[in-house]
Amino acid sequence: MEEYVGDLWHKFITRSARRDYPDAIVHLEDIEKTAGVLFRALGGDPGLRVAAAAEVEHGARRRWLARIAHVEDRVAQATRDAETLNLPPSLSLFPERAANRDLYLWLIAQAAATGRATGDWLVANQQATLFTLQRYPGFESRYRRLVEACLALRIAPEKLPKDEAAVELAIRQALKEPGSVGPLPTSRRPPQPVPMWLYPSPAQIDRRTRPDDAQADAQDPDDAHGKTVDANKKRQQATREDMPDGRDGFILPFRAESLVSWAEYVKVNRGLDEDPEEDAAKAAPDMDKLAIARDGKTIASRVRFDLDLPSAAADDIPLQSGILLPEWDWKKRILKKDQCRLDLLDARDAPPIEVPERLRKPVRKVRQQLEALAPSRRWFKNQPDGSELDVDACVRAWSDRRAGHAENDFGNYLKLERHERDMACLVLADLSLSTDAWVSDHERVIDVIRDSLMLFSEALGATGDRFALYGFSSLRRENIRFHQIKTFEEKHGAPTRGRIAALKPGYYTRMGAAIRYASRILEKQPNALRLMLILSDGKPNDLDQYDSRYGIEDTRMSLIEARNAGLRPFCVTIDKEGEGYLPHLFGPAGFTVIRKPEELPARLPMLYAQLTAM
């Protein structure tokens, strides 16, 4: 009975204390596409990734009812750093859904202008506000409505202590008249959160690999099919900590993860696979910040072994080793020479095969559809000489003479000539470890890529176009594996099919280096149209700093270099989150996202037909 009454009281007091409007909620995913388009249209950094912000404890004064109900002590603040724009995962502050959506749009406008602002966070937000309102006057009415709505949610200055009241008055003045307030006066408590402003980005995990645990950053292939506990769908703040050494007198000599509720410590790389410790996942949502450490025990050792390179006897045959390639440093804005080392490989165990039985029917269908693209003979009109008269041209010439006009200079003959497309296509397939993921109960991403290459190569054989097939993966910049499947000079047949069937998942996705080397190959082709078709299942990443904006910007620069060389890159991806970064890399018309991976084999030839239509 006591628990029942307590549960009723908790629901009542929580419902009474909360001041949000669930019926008017707007989720970040609802405006994800609009956010990206608006941010770039307002001049924002196109390389920034939009993500959901983590909830943090703000420490500001709350209403007495909120303190009793233990609510409103945490808030997801909008932040921006060099790589990410973090926005609240959802907004329900106002009773009108349109107002919550307007708040998202205003935060995006603030983020686009904040890159030009300087000073502390209060001054920077005012500068960003002034810039946005001056350059885009259409935001003025929306801004004023949001200011009035936000002020109504705040505790009045007269209800606050003197020092907090001074800060609150300054914030209100800054909202009403941007640019009129300097740094905030000091107070014992932080000010109440301002939902219309961007806050300083919190400290993030140092993602640079340390020498002693470099290999531990790698994903364990064996864990790909293991049990994964989703601790919380919300983003969590985290700090990197060293493992406790047991010398601290306040730490008892037993497993540290048992102290989660006290020390806010979660052991990530645990030594025993059979001990999943689900209590840690349950405790994570209640933590303000996670402390992450590595202990270097069994799991790290196994990952280091699994991701070690195969022996020369078991590895693919190296055709050329030590090919040096540059890499773009987006912070220094320079192209670093000879930063990457690439090896050109040929499959060791790839016996020639025929088209698999399950693909023969799709192959026949695609061949029939693409036969229309094959070179054919066509009539050319208005020619100065030819095998037949151009009746239309003759009638126009006679009419012009009767009307007193000068005779035209066009020819009056038809000529039948062979019309061929002058093009070459290079297909570059991502063979990273992520392609080992399952897309259905019986098929992995790598299986989809194999089928796509098999079907695509058979279709191109029907058109007569020149094409080449390559794949790539990487393990840091000194080991980029570039797999040769079919060259432009080689005729497609059973050996090519055998190499396609032998493809297997590799390591990571250092895409910039692979694109640069593929560009070298494609640049040598004499054709007028040179298409580079990139198949990928995710964004660029590797063990070092490449798994960040560094990789995005290096890939983008490699694509710019390819376009400047007269090549036409196009990306086909099955990454559902690709629309967040692909426009920055390939442009709005330079990519397509396939929602169902199993549709890739059938859609790839059709995409090729659209890209090469003349």
- Which ranges constitute the DSSP H helices of 61-120? 64-69, 97-114
DSSP string of 24-40, one letter each residue: G-EEGGGGHHHHHHHHH
More confident residue, 577 or 376: 577
CA distance 30 to 453: 35
Percentage of the chain surpassing pLDDT 90? Answer: 29
More confident residue, 605 or 124: 124
Confidence grade of residue 210 (pLDDT, cut at 50, 70, 90): very low
Q: Is the pLDDT of residue 285 over 60?
A: no
Interval 142-186: pLDDT, tens: 999 999 999 998 989 998 999 999 999 999 999 999 988 888 888
Q: Is the pLDDT of residue 233 over 60?
A: no
Burial of 277 (0-12, 13-18, 19+ CB in 10 A): middle
Asked if 76 contacts 193 with a C-beta cutoff of 8 angstroms, the reply is no
Hey, what amino acid is at 277? Answer: E
More confident residue, 121 or 586: 586
Mean pLDDT of 538-564: 91
Q: Is the pLDDT of residue 272 over 50?
A: no
Confidence grade of residue 372 (pLDDT, cut at 50, 70, 90): low
Average of per-residue pLDDT values in the chain = 78
Confidence grade of residue 226 (pLDDT, cut at 50, 70, 90): very low
Q: Range with the lowest mean pLDDT among 44-48, 379-383, 390-394?
A: 379-383
Confidence grade of residue 244 (pLDDT, cut at 50, 70, 90): low
Percentage of the chain surpassing pLDDT 70? Answer: 76
The strand pairing partners of 171, in sequence order, are: none
pLDDT score recorded for residue 588: 83
B/e letters for 20-29, b = 16+ CB within 10 Å, e = fewer, are bbeebebebe
Q: Is the pLDDT of residue 545 over 50?
A: yes
Category of 246 on φ-ψ map: left (φ > 0), alpha (ψ -120 to 50) or beta = left
Helices 139-153 and 97-114: crossing angle in degrees, nearest 10, is 110
More confident residue, 510 or 264: 510
Q: Is the pLDDT of residue 326 over 90?
A: yes
Q: Is the pLDDT of residue 597 over 50?
A: yes
Confidence grade of residue 489 (pLDDT, cut at 50, 70, 90): very high
Category of 43 on φ-ψ map: left (φ > 0), alpha (ψ -120 to 50) or beta = left
Asked if 574 contacts 538 with a C-beta cutoff of 8 angstroms, the reply is no
CA distance 426 to 319: 19
Q: Range with the lowest mean pLDDT among 56-70, 141-155, 559-573?
A: 56-70
Helix (H), strand (E) at residue 368: helix 357-370
Which domains, and CATH codes, for the chain?
2-176 (no CATH), 211-306 (no CATH), 329-370+421-611 (3.40.50.410), 376-419 (no CATH)
C-alpha separations of 84 from 51, 77, 92, 121, 322 in Å: 7, 13, 23, 17, 35
Confidence grade of residue 237 (pLDDT, cut at 50, 70, 90): low
Confidence grade of residue 404 (pLDDT, cut at 50, 70, 90): confident
Hey, what amino acid is at 181? Answer: V
Sign of CA dihedral 65, 69, 73, 74: negative
Q: Which of 98, 132, 109, 130 is nearest to 198 (CA)?
A: 109
Q: Which of 509, 524, 606, 519 is nearest to 568 (CA)?
A: 519
Mean pLDDT of 442-470: 87
Confidence grade of residue 313 (pLDDT, cut at 50, 70, 90): low
Q: Is the pLDDT of residue 613 over 50?
A: yes
Please name the residue that has the structure tokens 């692909």: 582
pLDDT score recorded for residue 522: 95
pLDDT score recorded for residue 145: 93
Cα Rg of the chain, angstroms: 31
Q: Range with the lowest mean pLDDT among 3-17, 35-49, 101-115, 252-266?
A: 252-266
Hey, what amino acid is at 132? Answer: T
CA distance 255 to 278: 14
Q: Is the pLDDT of residue 288 over 70?
A: no
Confidence grade of residue 298 (pLDDT, cut at 50, 70, 90): very low
| pTM for the predicted model, two decimal places | 0.67
